[in-house]
Structure 1
Amino acid sequence: MTKALTIDGVTIKKGERKYLEMHIAKLFDNTEMTIPVEVIRGKENGPTLFVSSAIHGDEINGVETIRRLLQRKKLLSSIKGTLIAVPIINVFGYNRNLRYLPDRRDLNRVFPGSKKGSLASQIAYKFMKEIVEKCEYGIDLHTGSAHRYNLPQIRAFLDNKEIKALAEAFGVPVILHSNMRDGSLRQAATEKGVKILLFEGGEALRYNEEIIRSAENGILWTMCNIGMLDKELIKRKVPKRREVFYAASSHWIRAPHSGSLHARKNVGHKVKKNEVLGFISDPLGKEKHYVKARETGVIIGITMLPLVTNGDALFHIATFENAEAVAEGVAEGVEDYQEDLE
């Protein structure tokens, strides 16, 4: 960790905590659009970690997670190294309750970006240069896309042993091996040598208490795991981590017909091969089309919209060596977390 860290022209010294706004573009009326950033630097050397959310503007659970994390002032004052918190990357989408940018591009498909490219590309470029490339670690917070709810899960490239250990330390029920996707922040960060986790949980445009607490606690456990926070202090502040399960693969079950979906299963439920997950009916109830599981596994994602069109993704099923054990572990429920915000 260098003696001084500079982000978008603002210098943060060791032992300082600063809020800054990273300039990106202007609206039609000349209003400046900026990305909010808060930097906390410990007095002692340690790693640099960025935590980001709302790369898709409608994924607001992560924004609330980071807000709560930053309220733990006493705990964060003891960190070693540097925490860079970026609650809203896609400020354009966030202010309009939209997933994408004004140019209709998905920001998470244009990394590492370009200094003179599209708006999306310029935002990606600046975020890489000013934030990502100054870090050794990263945690990117996501939710399900529109009308989909995800079980708390970590998606990571598990062939990397250190990333696998970080995924375990996060402490969510399910860890899914996920290869890199072209243009994603995770891919671009990995290519720069940054070890990054992607957290998925909850639904777009909705706060979910279980998801928010799970993400916040996972961040704190990860900071502990990389030496930024004292392990004994974390044990007193954060609930015990759950047992985690590795998914060998996952797949979506899609609607075999258009109509109204009546689900019989929910996230966290174990399903057997050919088991009925629900049925799709026409408005008069004259037709009924059953939706069945292709393989034995656990549901880690589900559509929240009952009106479906033929081919729509309905149930996201992860497969495990022991699906029953996973379902039992998830069914134990969420611990009674103590927020203990200082």
Structure 2
Amino acid sequence: MPTTASTYKRPMVILLSAVLALILLMLSFPDQGQWFITRYVVNSAPGYEKFIKKHPKSLFLEKASWRYVKLKNEPALFLDFAADFPKSPKREEALWTAAKKLRSAAVYAEYLQQFPEGKLAKAEGVNVNRLRISATVYKNEQKRAASLQYGKVVDPEGNTYRSIRLGGLTWTADNLKLTLKGSSRCFMDHEAYCQRFGKLYNWAGAQEACNSLGSGWRLPRLKEWEQLFRVYDQEGNFQKGSAKAFHALLKGGKSGFEVRGAGYFTPASGFAGAYYDSGFWTDTPMGSLEVYQMVFLGRNKLAYRAIAERDYALSCRCVQDSL
């Protein structure tokens, strides 16, 4: 059969029609066109993040958010997805994935509260009864925390923190979240970590953040941290580390101080330690370039004093002088 010119033109016409249809779709429905390109052409975490920011009310927001979370694969983002999309069919998977990654009683409790049968946990051969025991222990700890006597402190941005009287001083019982340009940052530079754990500050930023809380508030000295440790371990060697102080001051411990594994940053090693370790600034210098810090090392279950360079990024707690 002879080939005609129209035979060659037909595929080109179909292709041009498809391209024209796509262009018209993008012009008429910008978010749909952008979603098509993001999903089938870009398909990357930065691409989905850009789509989410540009189209916060899009019909494809849930799908874009889920693909972003899956590609980033960070526990805090799975928890945020479950909170932002309570009716999503992916919600159980999000909570269970976060629970597996964190191995946290709090997240197990949240997962079982929302999905009592623990379908995904059972599907992976997990003993759901053990999870329920862990969740019960966590709920009991929450009741204990509710019985503690907390005050309230508010920073200039309106962030609210608990305060508690320990070791003869009033301490903040939460990590500060105040934004200080050039002096504060989030773990991995991602806002989700700041919402959970507070900001990380360099030494000058930590001093400024405490002073911003109002009259009498300041960064605690090394001896005041050690005084706090001795409330729970009178014989402790804080250079080698104290397990008693670690457990008492940790989130869920008897003190109500509620230390969490916020992680830290050093210029040499970058970000590390989230969900396990924390470092807190003191106001006590060690020479001209370094400062004492208090470290909570989750894997060793010890709290001790150490040395930090002033440009490290650590968590910040504050004390208030008696007025």
What TM-score do the two structures reach when normalised by structure 1? 0.24
TM-score for both structures, normalised by structure 2: 0.25
Does 1 or 2 have the higher relative contact order (CA < 8 Å, sep 6+)? 1
